[in-house]
Structure 1
Amino acid sequence: MSGTMTTDNNMLTVSELLETGFIKCTICKSVYEDPRLLPCLHTFCHKCIQKIIEIENQTRNLNQSEAANGTDDDNEAKDLKKTENRQKIICPVCKSPMEVSIKDKKSNGFPSNTFMKDLSDMYDYKHEKERHCEYCKFDGKTTPASSLCLDCHDNMCQGCTGAHFRTKVTRCHKVIPYAHVQKGLYDSDIRDFQTPMCVQHTDEPMNIFCEKCELLICKECKVGNHDDHKWSKADKAVLKYEVQMINLLKGIQQQIPSIHKYMQFLTNYEKSIEGGREKLTNNIKKQAEILHDMIEEQKASCLEAVNKACDTERCEVQVRSSNLHTAVTSLENNEEYLRNLLKHGKPEELLTLHREITQRLTQLTHMQMDGINARLKTDFIPGSSTLRNIQTIFGKLSIDHVPLKHSESGLAADSALQISNMLPNVRNTPELIIEFNGEGMSDSKEVWPTGVAVTKDDNLVIVDRDNKKVKIYERNGKLKQEIQGKGENKLETPFDVTVLKSGDIAVSDHEAENVKLFKVTGEHILTITDGIKYPRGITTNSKGEVIILDCQLRQVTIHDPKSGHLLKTIECKDAKDIKVLVDPYYVGVTAQDNIIITDTASPNIKVFSPDGKYLANYGHYGMRNDEVLQPYGVCCDHYGYIFVADNQNHRVHLLLPDGKLSKFLLTKADSLWHPMGLALTENGYLVVTEALGKVKIYKYI
């Protein structure tokens, strides 16, 4: 190394670094033993990784047992079954998912972290422990070691040290006393002599860098497998990568304060949420109490008016009833008197009283009852108690998100968080793993592989448009199955394909104006026609729903995978309510279920939220950077990288999660010719189909 990485005056010395927790595994809390570097750049002891695998196995076996006992769905049980050669684990530090090789017990597919191993060895040298002379062992003796040969990496006693200096082969070796090592007198010498040794040729140091394979190798490896490759000495090759790492380090160092600042902003924001919740709750309760008091007052007023009206009317009725009772009593008495007088009275008696009787009877005959002229009528008409009226009276609760100002979040306007800096490094030249021709058993035309998808067991599903077939290949290129459909379910002009969560496949058949679902064995399941006219691209989201891109209606429809029923239509409009799609071809989804569409019109790539909001776009018509001649297939990996096939420019664009161009991942220089469909395997390899039938699989991380 040239030393440019240690220009920070605040950096610890090697001796100081060894006494920190830097060389200790975060799982076992001990100094690293056989440290292994994970893709997320976190390091653990190999034995600790094995423990993680064992825990994952136990959890998986438990889930598999529960799935077998608790469901009749065979597909769910199959999802829980681990693959034969690899297994997924989660990094305990950053929670990133990754795959380990089950068969490769020695490394699990993770490289040795030679830097951490060398520092751990150095830590071991600098601390007292029981060491024995390795040469005395040959004589059956157990002698304490006092020195270390940096050339041989052997422990030696004082006597053997003297003999080591007297031997012609070893007299120039660097032998250092452990007593001096522990005082830090030989730190730089130890580091100078620490050279990684080849795993295959254990006596050979790895000091050659193969530029094609981007691997550090020994001279034996160079002669054996890399002789025709361009190479350079490690000390020269490192200059390029050191500059690259320094630039990446600067990017990360610039991000860390921003992230800490943003974390503080989020902490404050979380506190403000609680404060806002308390204030809002109090306001709502206060409004409820005010309205409750007003309602109680109104209730009391209404009840008082009702009682007053009813009591007044009752008094009137009681007075009239009493008067009538008195009158009827008087009449009844008069009637009884007259009746008896007429029956038993003498003429003299009648004549004596006739004047008074006639006057009274005349008065009674013309008597009118003191009745009532109007009847009391009471009623209560409730106010409208609809939800809308209640909301109007009570008050409207507003819950929404408003864009943050940069000053609020603490971030500069030109330094928004670039999570892409934390993405895994992409190879300068993706490694071509396998290549084969997508020929079928009875093709009558040139293969035209417009669509590609990958099953859970890494079988490749290829749509051959011109031969009107769907072909299923094993990963090694062996043809397993051809699907053409029968009768009314026969494929007319298939274009694209996706694999459903059930393991079945859905094929867009654009001239037939439908999407057909098949089992991988070829049996037709159902046909989707609802809401589509001329389907091209097709994919599935995280819910397993079928997403269909219609190039004639210039919209996207989302369907239930079991019934085919239309769930949602996304018209792909901008903020001005204008449709932005012109001649769309393919559709993909991100991990957040945002929808990515390739369109021949500029801008070429358009991104929509799951509910249809127009989020972003990329690319213009042309041949330069950020330009596309004819965008075809699109896909997105779980890191957030977006891949776009530029058919006429013979290249695959690699976009960052924010939509910015990272690089041209593949070009004509990589023998790429008219790429069409793109897909990703379960273990993160990129599948590319080319015009006239070639299928290629690349390792890009």
Structure 2
Amino acid sequence: MVSQGSAPSLLEALSSDFLACKICLEQLRAPKTLPCLHTYCQDCLAQLADGGHIRCPECRETVPVPPAGVAAFKTNFFVNGLLDLVKARGDLRAGWYDEEARERQAAQCPQHPGEALRFLCQPCSQLLCRECRLDPHLDHPCLPLAEAVRARRPGLEELLAGVDKNLAELEAARASEKEALARLREQAARVGLQVEEAAEGVLRALLAQKQEVLGRLRAHVEAAEEAAWERLAELESREQVAQAAAAFARRVLSLGREAEILSLEGAIAQRLRQLQDSPWAPGPAPCLLPRLELHPGLLDKDCHLLQLSFEELPPREDDERAGADTQGGDGTQSPREDRAEAQPLKEEKAQAAPEDGGSQAPKEDTTAKVSQAEKAQVTPKEDRAQSPQGDRESHMERGARANKKRKFKGRLKSISREPSPAPGPNLEGTGLLPRPIFFCSFPTRMPGDRRSPRITGLCPFGQREILVADEQNRALKRFSLNGDYKGTVPVPEGCSPCSVAALQGVVAFSAGARLYLISPEGEVQWRRALSLSQASHAVAALPSGDRVAVSVAGHVEVYNMEGSLATRFIPGGRASRGQRALVFLTASPQGNFVGSDWQQNSVVVCDGLGQVIGEYRGPGLHGCQPGSLTVDKKGYIFLTLREINKVVILDPKGSLLGDFLTAYHGLEKPRVTTMVDGRYLVVSLSNGTIHVFRVRSPDS
């Protein structure tokens, strides 16, 4: 490809497809040039003519056909000359051609055979030979071709320079659009995470308030019941005393003699009088009935705790420097440069408020207000200084009314996503979890594929490359991290690769009930038969790169490079025989094995001897079967949950830490994952698309 501003050589014009018609894909015959400067065969243009118009196959511009037909389009004498040169020297090879042959070549007059075109008629703009000049153009001013070219070349070169400038601007605009789209996706992913965190924070705060209110309600009822039981006991005691005295008095009156009644009359009267004068019941007990008062903001439909606003895309720092250099060098600016310079000023004003201690608030845009989440993204240094608790408090304070702000202040706390105790609360609250940064996305379907891809395996392959197992098309495809197709690794005929792993200079994959080890050229080193009790077998390369592990009927088998069985174990030992079904398997840089156990519905972590280090089967799986998993260089486990479109993080011992990717990152039925260079997470979707995310560690 010729760079802009450089003159193409004759060899490049002859060796490229410049002399081929883009319609019939053959060498041009009777070349005719359209006003859009695209050249085609005259017969091909005649076939395209429809209703007096022709639509250019390349630029899609509609061109009217002259009244005389397609033959009236300008003949491309330049292409004709090159075609004549090729015909004259049919054995032309790269580096073997004669520029002098081109210089000696002269265009022939179509009306006078044998006469070369030598003059240009200025009024008619027509090429003439000596015979043509003597007939109708005798009185017209004519110039020799060389002199006419010298006179008209500067104008054409000036126009060409203007087009080159426009091409440079178009290329810059295209790059800017791609960059803006990438930044939009990245920002949308960040905002999606913030919305999730804010919503979960609000829900956690409401749940905490619910537990607090219910606790107070239970304490109030228990205290009231205890006081009521004390009063009931006192009433029962007084009732028993009064009943005993009354029963004694009745017995004396009904069964006693006159002398006995008179002798006890004084004591009975005194006791009855004493009981009659004493209060029969204690004072009225205070009865405080509970009532629930809801915050007005919860019932207000216009109260939005989460608000999404939009602002213009701020330029990069290099765009600011480029704009400053242009202004200092030329003294004039284009409207695009003016806009690029105005945006950094707005961004500096937005950053001035936190640096000045909040003494002066930034001016808000009249078209859109900057949300708290987006402000946090504009100033990343201040975002690290702010905790998620303060961010969510600001959302709550803006949504509530002025007279109720203090009631909500301080109630939002950073707690775990998971109700069970785990290291997640501390990590998630302090922002120590890895975060995703969108890198690129690309399809895996290639022109030669007969079916839609079904990706069942991924693994790193060489420097910044991945190997994709496409079971549907029976292929192992190579891609760079940028999505460039690098070809395939040939597989034996009839094999449908399922899971794949790259070792030192070889590739291991499972297909059906067999394990294969092949070279990058497709030569089979060895194959091993596996158990038929399992539909698919997961394959993982050990960190040393000289052994491969495969899951077989609930246990793990490890083979060396020669195909010999090195070790075999069951996670949890013989006591777990028949209780495991490892559908996905991977190995950590620390030498541990991590598997998705579909029989126990758990994620199990074990060492090289099968001793279980940790196992997670908590509510963080949301009842889903654990999917594909991979491990980064620090031992963090990335687990795919296909049913809910998530990738979650577990610590090296298998405890859930939180979400890493969600549907906001474009996940739709993720299938398999792998880690490249310890910092790029590659996720394949069910439709054959691959997303690549850079894993940003907390200390980066």
Bin the TM-score by the shorter chain: 0.3 to 0.5
Radius of gyration: which is bigger? 1
Q: TM-score, normalised by structure 2?
A: 0.40
